[in-house]
Amino acid sequence: MAIWDGFKDVILQVLVFFYNGVGDYGLAIIMLTIVLRILMTPLVWKQTKSMLELQQVQPKIKALQEKYKKDKEKQQEELMKFYQENKVNPFGGCLPLLLQMPIFLALYGVLGGLATDKGPTFAKYLMSLAPAAQDAARHFWIILPDLTKAPMAIWTAAMKGGGVGPALLAVLPYAIFVVLFGLSTWLPQYLMTTDPTQRKTGTYMAVFMLYVGWISPAGVLLYWVTSSTWQVAQQIITQRSMKRSAEGA
C-alpha cells in the first residue's frame, strides 16, 4: 500500500508540476500522457511490430489449428513451436494495455478522491488552494468543467437540480469523452487484427468500457483518449514502415 500511495503521489506531483507550467489541469494530463507514451515508445513499437508480424502468419496458424483440431494438446505444442520459430509473440498486443493500467488506476484514485482512499488525492490537494483557485483547477479549458467528476455524477446532480433538459446539456461534453473512450478501446484492436473473433471480442470490450467511462473521473477519460490516439498513430506508422520494408525486400 505504501508503494502504491507513493506511486500515486508521483503522478499527482507530476500533474502539479505541469499545471504550474500551463495553468490547466486538462493540458497537464495531456502532457503527462505524452511523456509516458514517449517513454514507452521503444517497447510498444517492438510489441506492435510483433503483433503485425503475427497477423502476417495468421493463415499458417489457422492451418495448424485445423490440422490438429482433434488433438488440442498437440495443437498447442505445434503452435508454441511455430511462434518460437517465427519469433512472434501471441500476447504482444496486450502489453500496451498492461503498461497503461497502473497509470489508469492511479489517476482514478488521485482524481476520483474516493472516500475509502487514504493515499494522496487531487481533492486533498485542492483543499490546500484558495477557494477561487480550487474551481479554476478542476477544469479542462472550456471543454470539461470538472475533471474530478464522473459523467454519472454530473448527470445525477443535474437531474436533481433541473430535470432531463439541463442534465443532458450538463453531461454532453462528458458523454462525448465516454464515447471517445469506448472508441479508443475498440479502434487499436480493430487496426491490429483482421480476425473476426478477435474483432468481436474487441467490440464487446469497447461496449463494456462505455460503462467504465460513465463511472470514471473525466480526467481519466482524457488520459485514456489521449494515450489511445497516440497508440493508433504509432500503429499506423509501424504498419507503413513494415510495408515499405517488405516492398524493399
As a whole number of angstroms, the distance between CA 125 and CA 138 comes to: 11
CB 152 within 8 A of CB 171: no
CA gap 202, 228 in Å, rounded? 14
| 51-55, 172-176, 228-232, 238-242: least confident range | 51-55
Give the residue with greater pLDDT, 119 vs 117.
119
pTM: 0.81
Q: Rounded to whole angstroms, how far apart are CA atoms 163 and 74?
A: 62
Burial, 59: exposed, middle or buried (Cβ in 10 Å; 0-12, 13-18, 19+)? exposed
Percentage, residues of the chain above pLDDT 70: 90
Number of domains in the chain: 1
What confidence category does residue 97 fall into, taking pLDDT thresholds of 50, 70 and 90? low
Owning domain of residue 6: 2-248
Mean pLDDT of 98-119: 72
- Structure confidence at residue 115 as a pLDDT band (50, 70, 90): very low
Taking residues 111-124, what's their average pLDDT?
67
- At 112, which helix (H) or strand (E)? helix 95-112
How many whole angstroms separate alpha carbon 90 and alpha carbon 55? 10
